[in-house]
Structure 1
Amino acid sequence: MRYIVRYVVYLPIDIMDRLKGNRNKMIPPRGMMYIGSGDFEIQGKRILSLVQSYTHLQPHHHVLDVGCGIGRFAIPLTSFLSTNGTYEGFDIVKTGIDWCKKHITPSYPHFNFSHIDLNNTLYNTATKAKAEQFKFPYSKSYFDIVVLTSVFTHMMPNDVANYIEQISDVLKPKGMCYATFFLFNKQENFSSTERSFQFSYDYGDYRLLDKKVKEANIAFDEAFIHSLAEKHQLSIKHSIKGWWRGIEKTDKIDFQDIIVFEKRNQLS
């Protein structure tokens, strides 16, 4: 329903943009944007800049975009990734994938998008298929870089545990994963200064923002995420606190917390 409401609200603006020729064909209409906030194009470029800053992303790399949405990260990446590299993106919202297939892949055939039908109380309640049972449909040790922006913030602990296992499986040794979270530390008794992000419902390893829509926003104990990384041969290279906590904004941090994992060598 919220997709329909957004489409209707922005329809007049999207029509005017089309009539005036103001819309970049590589940017989806406002009514179709269902992820994140702020300027879609600026946010995408910012994500690319952060990934470049904290990983070893190169033009020839094989990149996996988990929860790729409607191409927010993929679109700026088209100007960076060479035809020697490849991009795979998947998402549980079909409309976003369909748009990317129609508007990105024809010009950039090394960019591939897949719809994966999985249940999520925020984005997709039409199926019972569980993320905790999903096996990534890619070859082992194939990707140099895996990116997840605002994905783990909408997943329950068992789902996160499975995805981290899958990420480790498809990453090359020394490959890196850039992921965003809402994190807390039990020792800090942390509470955000942002009123809309209090995560009042405490379940031990995780906290919920909304009891009724569990996957609306979820915060995880840092120790829980660290234990999953250790279990699945991932080292934590960077851990950067986000400004959702009320800290000062800079070009090197994001709204959400960032963790960058690195796949260990087989022998280490």
Structure 2
Amino acid sequence: MISKRKLYYLLSPSMRYSIRKIYYFPSDFWDLISGKRDKTIPPKGLIFIGPGDFKRIGEHYLNIFKEQCNLLPNHRVLDVGCGIGRIAIPLTNYLNKEGSYEGFDIVKNGIDWCQKNITQKNPNFKFTHIDLKNDLYNLKTEQTANNFVFPYQDSSFDLVVLTSVFTHMMPDDVVNYIKEINRVLKPNGKCLVTFFILNEESKNYMKSNSDFNFQYNFGDYSLMDKDVKEANIAFEEKFIFNCIKENNLTIEKTLYGFWSGRPKNESFDYQDTLILTK
């Protein structure tokens, strides 16, 4: 029997977006006419990122940035794969006028919403649409991420964040992005990035976790679905660590998550989190 996840991956990106809008239309319409919708967050039908409480998760990450990355109100932040503003929205209440935020994403609808609903009220928050190909999110272009240059000057940011971005990118793309992260970070700047990291421990946990398993192995990385490669990607720990080292970044903290079946009380968050410094 085909799983819900497999069925979801069989749909094109545009079909997934359309189905979500239709599914959540009654709820979004009721929230609108009843005045219950929080206008600071997007309607459910427009949200294309992972599950969970949109607002709570954004606030959760803000706390992590402050506690683990020493984020200050006057810092410059780059949000790679910014989606539809989940990270940006809580930052609007934390960064001051001396601080700033830049975000880019390959899904234009998300960028359009952020420009209209965030930038207009917070001119130091800017969002850029980058048209790059991705099996899960964008099939309307042949432009790839493996030679993409971030549209920012060298040494521009105090903090670069990537939440559930490298879990949807192929190895060559990840290598290029890590190189670019090093380029745009200020000296002593920090980067928070999440992965599905494969090591002996996570592989052992996965053996009893049949619902979330990377069964297609390609050496440095493994896939959950061989047809939609960028749906979910896990990387060998050695590959990731070597890539970071080769690009002159230092792993300050390795905080493993519970995605593989690791006990929650022994885990930091759902995905594995690395804190890097330049």
Q: Please tell me the TM-score bracket, short chain as reference.
A: over 0.9
- The offset of 1:69, in angstroms, is 0.1
User: Is 1:163 matched up with 2:177?
Assistant: yes
User: Is 1:253 matched up with 2:268?
Assistant: yes
- 2:167 corresponds in structure 1 to 153
User: Is 1:9 matched up with 2:23?
Assistant: yes
Q: Is the 8 A contact 2:205 2:262 kept in 1?
A: no
Q: Is the 8 A contact 1:194 1:244 kept in 2?
A: no
Distance between the aligned counterparts of 2:84 and 2:267, measured in 1?
Answer: 24
Corresponding letter in the other structure for 2:72 = Q
* Segment drifting more, 161-170 vs 240-249: 240-249
SS state of the match for residue 261, structure 1?
Answer: strand
- 1:225 corresponds in structure 2 to 240
Distance between the aligned counterparts of 2:256 and 2:134, measured in 1?
Answer: 26
User: Is 1:196 matched up with 2:224?
Assistant: no
CA deviation vs aligned residue, 1:96-121 (integer Å, no higher than 9, x gap): 00000000011111000000000000
- The offset of 1:191, in angstroms, is 4.3
Corresponding letter in the other structure for 1:63 = V
User: Is 1:81 matched up with 2:95?
Assistant: yes
Alignment partner for residue 44 of structure 2, among 20, 23, 30?
30
Distance between the aligned counterparts of 1:190 and 1:138, measured in 2?
Answer: 41
Distance between the aligned counterparts of 2:202 and 2:270, measured in 1?
Answer: 20
Q: Is the 8 A contact 1:9 1:31 kept in 2?
A: yes
- The offset of 1:251, in angstroms, is 11
- The offset of 1:194, in angstroms, is 3.3
- 1:95 corresponds in structure 2 to 109
Corresponding letter in the other structure for 1:69 = G
- The offset of 1:180, in angstroms, is 0.4
SS state of the match for residue 40, structure 2?
Answer: coil
Q: Is the 8 A contact 2:58 2:90 kept in 1?
A: yes
- The offset of 1:254, in angstroms, is 1.4
Residue 190 and residue 12 in structure 1: after superposition, are their counterparts in 2 closer, same or farther (change >3 A)?
same
Distance between the aligned counterparts of 1:80 and 1:210, measured in 2?
Answer: 39
Root mean square deviation, CA, Å: 1.4
CA deviation vs aligned residue, 1:67-119 (integer Å, no higher than 9, x gap): 00000000011111111001000000000000000000111110000000000
Count of residue pairs brought into register by the alignment = 263
Alignment partner for residue 71 of structure 2, among 57, 63, 73?
57
Distance between the aligned counterparts of 1:24 and 1:160, measured in 2?
Answer: 35
Alignment partner for residue 68 of structure 1, among 82, 97, 115?
82
Unaligned runs of 5+ in 2: 1-14
Corresponding letter in the other structure for 1:11 = F
Question: What TM-score, normalized to structure 2?
Answer: 0.92
- 1:143 corresponds in structure 2 to 157
Distance between the aligned counterparts of 1:12 and 1:93, measured in 2?
Answer: 24
User: Is 1:178 matched up with 2:167?
Assistant: no
Residue 250 and residue 157 in structure 1: after superposition, are their counterparts in 2 closer, same or farther (change >3 A)?
same
- The offset of 1:234, in angstroms, is 0.2
Q: Is the 8 A contact 1:50 1:252 kept in 2?
A: no
Q: Is the 8 A contact 2:256 2:273 kept in 1?
A: yes
Residue 191 and residue 83 in structure 1: after superposition, are their counterparts in 2 closer, same or farther (change >3 A)?
same
SS state of the match for residue 214, structure 1?
Answer: coil
Unaligned runs of 5+ in 1: 264-268
- 2:252 corresponds in structure 1 to 237
Corresponding letter in the other structure for 1:195 = S
- The offset of 1:237, in angstroms, is 0.4
Residue 260 and residue 4 in structure 1: after superposition, are their counterparts in 2 closer, same or farther (change >3 A)?
same
- The offset of 1:253, in angstroms, is 1.7
Distance between the aligned counterparts of 1:91 and 1:12, measured in 2?
Answer: 28
User: Is 1:129 matched up with 2:153?
Assistant: no
Q: Is the 8 A contact 1:140 1:170 kept in 2?
A: yes
